[in-house]
A and B are shown apart, each in its own frame.
Chain A
Amino acid sequence: MSPALLRLLARSRSIDRRWIALATVLMLAAPLIWRIPLTMVPFPATVKLKTTIDAVPENKLIIVAVDWDSATKGECQPLTAAVIDYLLKNNKKFALFGFIPQGPELAQRLTEELARKYPGKTYGKDWVNWGYRPNVMNTLIAMMNDVPGTLKTDIRKNDLSKDPLTQMVPNLKEAGLLYHVSGTALFKSYLQFCAGVPLANAVTAVMGPEQYPYLQSGQTKGLLVGLGGAAQFEAVGDFKDETGAKGGEGYKGMGSQSLGHLLVMALIVLGNLGVWAQRRLDETTPPPDDEPSETPIDDQGEAA
């Protein structure tokens, strides 16, 4: 390889982070403007979640615990929307609930929006919102024995002891499924205090790897990870968007995510090529006799 090409390649081991940021913006934004038709293959954990939801009998309530806020909305909202949409479509009754103040409020807006797609779906008949509660440990322990007595009222101040949906779950053990969505480690509290309750969960991508032990042990009956998890659930749930195209909110993000992953890989390859080219240059160009040989230092302050 010519020294000029090697020198050019060597420069790629320390690309200015502003160029990286610009490339990231372009790669993530392009598929939002020009939509790429894509097909998502679901993981077994996603299929398992769908099977678990399908198996919940009609007289059992599903609890959707929404422990997220606007910070993690980008991932948690599609993860919540995919399951809520599926519950509405399949006439499953559910309750919204959370230990993070914004969670139940954001989920309520989302549910109201999704319910418009299905005529006749109304608050109080198809879903109830128990709202935000503080004190995870005490609340969960108390709910294990008595749900309406612990929560007392919903977000509209209705008495839960008279609410027909809440009456379906006198204590948490009677729930058909508890689906937990979060970007926090709160799922561990559910595992700790809700023994005997069928649990499933969805997490942001960074939290994903730590959830797999619970999937293998059967402590979670289904797992969705990140925006890809939402897209996978939309694939198994046979979702269609307003234009009739495959998928929903998760699917829409898959083009950006695909290009984002490809960008990361391309940059890793470039960085390593740069290191290799620099090494070749060092080998082919002997150091001057009067100067000691040095390990080249890139502009990140790192020995290459």
Chain B
Amino acid sequence: MEFANPFALIILTALSALVLAFILTSTGGRELFIRRVPGVDAIDEVVGRAVELGRPILFSVGLGGIDITTLQAITVIGHVAKIAARFRNRVIVPVVDPMAIPVIEEVQRESYASERAEEAFNPEDIRFLSGEQFAYAAGVVGIMHRERVGATFFFGNFAAEALVMAESGQQVGAVQIASTPDSNQIPFFLATCDYVIIGEEYYAVTALMSRDPVLRGSLIGQDYVKVILLLLIVLGFTLTTIMGPGHFLAKWFAGSGG
């Protein structure tokens, strides 16, 4: 869709307002309940396991450039690096997009500094491997075997290289957590990783790791957005079934698809 039609405009405004309203409600002090996700709860434990083994941690942000998905992964890197820094452990981050190097370096440096472990931070642990999908995968597999990583995190957008990397992690005996908003790689991660965070849970990771009211409010708002979308689907197919696809209301709904 090149331009918003009236339906898209209404829905965009309504959904944004809903998310923002719940953020305001949550920051106003109201306690909102969200369920736990085992994969998120296990993040600290997995980092601890690598520390126990005395092996470094590998964190892959997948094939994406600097986009929303990667930004979420970078936030998680900050958290993982902070726990690793407490125990003077290393977090190796191989990347596909060179643009991510300075961002991740900055985040890691701050995490190590916040734990007064600057000396344990090595900028060379943030490595550009290749812009090519399978050259990147081969590089990651090499690092896993050479460094004998104790824990691996796969957070971001992945394609066919996911299984190559996750199965290699399994081979070196690393404890693995995978998280991706993309449904294609979920079966492969389920077969090879100890914990898998799927679909929308990916975007809920930061809210679940913290008790920050803004993030929690946003998460609840997001759930109501889904309820509204589901109601619209029901309304759409009811209208089409009863009044036929030629009815102006049915056409108006269909027009929203571009």
Is A204 an interface residue when CB atoms closer than 8 A count as contact?
A: yes
Which 6 residue pairs of A and B lie closest in terms of their CB atoms, listed nearest first? Answer: A195-B258, A71-B134, A210-B184, A210-B183, A206-B160, A207-B184
Contacts of A72 in B (CB 8 A): 160
Q: How far is the CA of A195 from the CA of B257 in the complex (A)?
A: 8
CB distance from B102 to the nearest CB of A (A): 23
Contacts of A71 in B (CB 8 A): 133-134, 160
Q: How far is the CA of A141 from the CA of B1 in the complex (A)?
A: 10
User: Pick the contact of A183 from B160, B182, B258 — CB < 8 Å?
Assistant: B160
* Interface residues of chain A: helix, strand, loop or mixed (majority): helix
Contacts of B188 in A (CB 8 A): 206
User: Pick the contact of A206 from B2, B133, B134, B184 — CB < 8 Å?
Assistant: B184
Interface size class of B (residues with CB under 8 A): 10 to 19
Q: How far is the CA of A144 from the CA of B134 in the complex (A)?
A: 32
Is B159 an interface residue when CB atoms closer than 8 A count as contact?
A: yes
- Number of inter-chain CB pairs below 8 Å: 36
Given A195-B257, A206-B184, A301-B173, A141–B2 Cβ distance below 8 Å?
yes
Is A192 an interface residue when CB atoms closer than 8 A count as contact?
A: yes
Is A56 an interface residue when CB atoms closer than 8 A count as contact?
A: no
Using a CB–CB cutoff of 8 Å, the interface residues on chain B facing chain A are 1-2, 133-134, 157, 159-160, 170-171, 173, 182-185, 188, 257-258
User: In this complex, what residue of A is CB-closest to B170?
Assistant: A300
User: In this complex, what residue of B is CB-closest to A196?
Assistant: B258
* Number of residues from A at the complex interface, CB < 8 A: 19
Residues of A39-92 contacting chain B, CB below 8 A: 71-72
User: Pick the contact of B184 from A144, A193, A195, A209 — CB < 8 Å?
Assistant: A209
Given A71-B133, A71-B134, A206-B184, A144–B2 Cβ distance below 8 Å?
yes
CB distance from B237 to the nearest CB of A (A): 12
In contact, B184 and A192 (Cβ under 8 angstroms): no
User: In this complex, what residue of B is CB-closest to A206?
Assistant: B160
In contact, B182 and A185 (Cβ under 8 angstroms): yes
In contact, A192 and B134 (Cβ under 8 angstroms): no
CB distance from B162 to the nearest CB of A (A): 9
CB distance from B44 to the nearest CB of A (A): 21
CB distance from A209 to the nearest CB of B (A): 7
CB distance from B242 to the nearest CB of A (A): 20
User: In this complex, what residue of A is CB-closest to B163?
Assistant: A206
Contacts of B171 in A (CB 8 A): 17
Binary CB contact string for chain A from 193 to 221 against chain B (1 if under 8 A, 0 otherwise): 10110000000101101100000000000
In contact, B159 and A183 (Cβ under 8 angstroms): yes
5 contacts between A and B (CB under 8 A): A71-B133, A144-B2, A196-B258, A206-B160, A206-B188
